[in-house]
Every structure is written in structure tokens, then in C-alpha cells.
Amino acid sequence: MKHYRDAAENAARAAGDLLRTAFHMPRRVNSAEAHDIKLAIDVETQELITRLLLEEFPQHSLYGEEGITGDQSSEHQWVVDPLDGTVNFFYGIPHFCVSIALRWKNEIIVGVIYDPVRDELWTGQKGEAPTLNGTPFRVSDRADLAEAVISVGLSKTGETIRSGLPLLQEMAHRARKCRLLGSAALDMAYVACGRLDAYIEQGISLWDIAAGWILIETAGGVVDMKPRTDMKDRYSVIASNGVVNLGLK
């Protein structure tokens, strides 16, 4: 599995270099909605990742935020968010990342998240301790919600904002602090390495959280993901250190 992990790390770093350079240049907007923006750099970055991964593994497919490539019934499928935190990126907020996971027969076996601003690279692989810039980490051990820091995402539709706000309000009262950071993949990486105790969002796509999933599970945490019946290919996710009592059903 090491060659998959190495390939994911190389692609994430190359994509991160591209994003770091583009962050200081004018942004080209492809489309904008009430709560979302799509940039040309998202597409360019996914093209770079696709080329790097599928040239090395031509039998694999890729499922990404900016589209799919290759035979999606392939046993090996790369799940990619080339730029997670696009709105942050557009507004000049230096909190975004590249997220690359490898799914084998419906199971995530490798996950890499790269924050090019802080040069932080999280790497996870099934059956091994995950690392941050080469150093192993674990989830936090905080069990008391009153001491916990929780990230809540509101996703991008009127419905997810409506259903997320009561949850945010409840958590804001019960936890020490709530955060809305704007990058689901970094939220997952932060839970994995113990900076956050939990992350909750109700309308997320697989590419936002696939890499973080294996990071959290191999770091000792728990990811509970349920498909939303009212939104195609969207999930509700509760990711935590596995011991904090969120009191959610």
C-alpha cells in the first residue's frame, strides 16, 4: 500500500504548490451561488492530481468535486477534493487544503490532507498509525463536552443551514467553543490530531471527508456517516475522538 500512499502525498504536495502560488494571484470565478463559489483553480488543480495519479495507475478511476475520470466501477477509485475551502481561498482566508483518498472495494484505505499555507501534511493508511509531517498522532481524550471544542459546518444550501443552525446553537451553549472554519477536510484532520474534539455537518460530499475518515479511524476516533435521504450523494457526518459525549442521536 506504500506506493499508493507515496503517490497520494506527491500529488497532494504538487497540488498544494499550485494553490499556494495561485493564492497570491487574481482568482477566476467559474460560477457563484448564494453560499458557494466555483473557481477555475479548482478545476486546474483536479486536472493536475488526475494526471499525476492516473498516469501512475492507469487502471484506477477518480471521483472528484470537479468531475469523474475513468471507469467508476474500477476496484480502485481516488476520491479527491482538489481545493477544500474554496470560499476561504477566494476571500483570501489562508485556511484551505487538498484532500486525496483511495477507495478500494468501497473501503477507504489511504488518506492524505495537505494544508499548503502551513505546510502540514496528514497521512493515513489502513492498519497503520497516521502521521502529521512524519510524526504519529492520536485523537484527543476529552470526554466532557463542556471542555470540548467542536467544529460545526453549515454546508451550502438553505436546507442545510436551516437544519444546522439549531445544532450549532445547542453546541455553542454546551461546548467550551464552537467553530465554523470553512474547510471540512481540515476539520477532519484537526479532529484526527486532537486540535478539535468533534466535527459535525449535515450535507457533506464524500470527497470532503474521505481522506479525513481514515485519518480519524486510525487515530482512534469515530466517524459516523449517514446518507441524506433528501439530497443526492450528500451525507450527515459526526466525527469525533470517540469519547466526547455529544448527546446527539
Binding stretches for ligand IPD (CB under 6 A): 65, 81, 84-86, 153, 155-156, 182-184, 201, 204, 208
Which of 209/220 has CB closer to ligand IPD? 209
Q: How far is the CB of 96 from ligand IPD (least distance, A)?
A: 7
Distance CA 160, CA 155 (A): 6
Q: Spell out where 157-248 has E strands.
A: 177-179, 198-204, 222-227, 235-240
Which of 65/115 has CB closer to ligand IPD? 65
Which of 156/195 has CB closer to ligand IPD? 156
Which of 131/183 has CB closer to ligand IPD? 183
Q: How far is the CB of 186 from ligand IPD (least distance, A)?
A: 8
**Rounded-to-10 torsion of CA 209, 113, 40, 59:** -80
H or E stretch covering 227? strand 222-227
Q: How far is the CB of 183 from ligand IPD (least distance, A)?
A: 5
Adjacent-strand bridge partners of 137: none
Q: Which residue is nearest to ligand IPD (CB)?
A: 184
Which of 57/193 has CB closer to ligand IPD? 193
Q: How far is the CB of 115 from ligand IPD (least distance, A)?
A: 13
Residue with cell 512524519: 134
Q: How far is the CB of 129 from ligand IPD (least distance, A)?
A: 26
- Provide the 10 A C-beta neighbour count for residue 204: 27
Q: Which of 64, 61, 57 is nearest to 75 (CA)?
A: 61
Distance CA 226, CA 222 (A): 13
